[in-house]
A and B are shown apart, each in its own frame.
Chain A
């Protein structure tokens, strides 16, 4: 048995058992704290909604994330390749990032009432582009001049230097930021789904559970979110292995 696969499974089982034990020892009713054994029936009862709303949450998060990769790369390039633009934009970005996104959620929700998909994607994007923009700009602006010179001396254009050297060299930083961004985007999606009335997605299912005092359902949504989060994170890890695996040193 491969321990690298086996060990996390054991950890999850132990965690579930401890959780069950805590609820059982304290004799908590399920409207105070649901136990893992309550989750099965909750999942089964709402299995179609879980699939449907899980898909909503997933694709909205991915769409928001793609948007923030695009915009983050673009902003990172602008700030990484041009000193003046970096000086001009940096304080603005830091200020924007400092605003707690929970306060932006109602503003967006009121701005485009009823446009659930767009609102959700927008928040997922707004919350997650910052780390990408910053890491790409740092990666580009710290490129050693010799890297530029070996191609510039051959008459290479700025674009060629960017494409052949600067961009691939920045990929490890980019994927580091993407791992942070994927979690943030996921949080953004759920914030909006919980707040918006008549919405869809796992966030909305959570809110329904709250309104109807269905505690096992609320906990089941949390577990579903955790599973989706793990899935998204490891997709990024696999992409990183493929595109920036060279940065990982073999253990010697």
Chain B
């Protein structure tokens, strides 16, 4: 098989390049650190390291960037699980169940599951990139504005299933997020909406809002209860999940990885969307969906494998078509061009040796991510042993500096604080924050693509029902939106939902909660 032979040759070439391997390690470490810090995303990490690649050979430079990319997507999960600070937007989905597991004293197993799932999702996506790139590249071309709009609607329909106890409150939070998402420049005409003259509001500041709603709100909450204030932290516990536990989650991981790959291939859709979609599908396929949001290990596995599955998908369109799937691959596209390489079908023909050595290096990056990730978790986990009275102020300081680092703007920090205060009251009165974040991610995508599709179709709404992918996605969106409502109506009054999520006993029996 041509691809396999070339991959083996790629590994042989890579072994003769110690600098490239060393830079893989550097890239992965930098990526994990950047991903774990609030406000700093993989995009920023790649942009920071880009100038360092100018003097390097193409392989070493590109592998270092890949290391940052992969490590950055994974790193966000660490602080999301330990501290409920989503280091990256994708980790906002991981925080939903990850932090609940930490509160139950299962932080170690949640982190271990996140690491293993990130590795599996990412590795699978690289294999798909190697073996199915030309085949799947054509799929990306099927996606025009109407399909992207339908994907965004599908993403938004997830709000119903992550609404917690009250769908009404979840929908209110979601539509509030959608309304906030309209702040900024109108996607078609460029008219500033609800900006009050502030240029800082020309783009929706969704990362400050996310940090405020999740991390700052949680920190404010921990100031309220004296028992929490004075408590010592918990320990990390076991890290690597028992095989019997993880084995049951493998179907979820596999399904989420495939979803991540498909979403990664779609231009404009990134790891954040993949994580939420994977979470929703894991919940839908689960036999105990009520455990999701209360500390379900399979929820963590789904988000992480989905987010990391996105990496190979995003690279696929960038390498084969020259279309960057997200912001990180857009920066990588620049790096490739600077190295004198032109992405597209000819890249695979004219620089096949380099491309397959790069693929081999990507697989090495993921192995390094697994090893370095698992090795660093004990050190990271020491955070939990800090007294809450020290940890909470440090979290707040990290929220401030992380938000500031986004645009070097104190205005953003002010937004973060406002979101933190609102998030605190939302928590207090059972309004979920996740729908707001999801709406901020999907809202601009939905509006921009709907209006683009409408313009392309000359003002006709035909595009909603005469394009197969659009119809399928919209149909799935309707089912996703209505399913939780039907379930609630179907459930007998007075029969409470299964409570508690993955407790210790359940961990031994069916942690995936899916019975698969």
Real binding pair: no
Residues of B with Cβ closer than 8 Å to A?
Answer: none
Residues of A with Cβ closer than 8 Å to B?
Answer: none
